[in-house]
Amino acid sequence: MPRLSPALAALCAIPVAAVAAPAPATSQVGAVEALRLQMVAKRVTIMRDKWGIPHIYGKTDADAVFGMIYAQSEDDFHRVETNFINAMGRMAEVEGEKALPQDLRMKLFIDPEVLKAQYKASPAWLKKLMVAWADGLNYYLHTHPQVKPQLLTYFEPWMALS
């Protein structure tokens, strides 16, 4: 990573929580969860280099996952959401009837109930990463009320398995 001057480093090393103002009460995230997510965000720093590539810093692997998906959402939330809509076989809900064959094919491989069971059976360390993934997406949506999802307004940890 290129070396930054101390002044520029101080400007770039702003925690996620400091640059993302709380959203109005219309967010899908409740008040208690919003406070919890803000506490998580305070442990994460996203620094972008001169090419805009995010470098994520946190105290744990889960912090890094939170920051990674938050930064990816900053770059292109629409693509992130579309990937998960597609992976769960729900494109027809966005694109209409033309996407039904694609959804049916995905439903051959992806069953949300199986994913939920796999999540429950996952080891604790993996659950922490999946929770951090969902938290990063939900915090992004909470702090960017101007972003209008196509379909998924709240992400659950088991969705990471799709």
pLDDT in tens, 125-155: 999 999 999 999 999 999 999 999 999 999 9
Asked if 88 and 156 count as a contact pair (C-beta separation under 8 A), the reply is no
Q: How sure is the predictor about 161, in pLDDT bands with cuts at 50, 70 and 90?
A: very high
Rounded CA separation 64/128 (Å): 11
* 1 located within any domain: no
> Which amino acid appears at position 27 of this protein?
S
* 72 located within any domain: yes
* 118 located within any domain: yes
Rounded CA separation 144/158 (Å): 23
Query: Taking residues 81-107, what's their average pLDDT?
Result: 95
Query: Chain-wide mean pLDDT for the chain?
Result: 87
Rounded CA separation 102/18 (Å): 41
* 31 located within any domain: yes
pLDDT, tens digit (0-9, with 9 covering 90-100), for 51-68: 999 999 999 999 999 999
Q: What CATH number has the domain bearing residue 103?
A: 1.10.439.10
Rounded CA separation 65/71 (Å): 10
Confidence (pLDDT) at 23: 38
Is the pLDDT at 28 greater than 90? The verdict is: no
Confidence (pLDDT) at 27: 57
Is the pLDDT at 80 greater than 90? The verdict is: yes
Asked if 74 and 19 count as a contact pair (C-beta separation under 8 A), the reply is no
Q: Which of 26, 134, 17 is nearest to 81 (CA)?
A: 134
Query: Taking residues 92-103, what's their average pLDDT?
Result: 96
Q: How many domains does the chain have?
A: 1
| Owning domain of residue 47 | 6-17+26-161
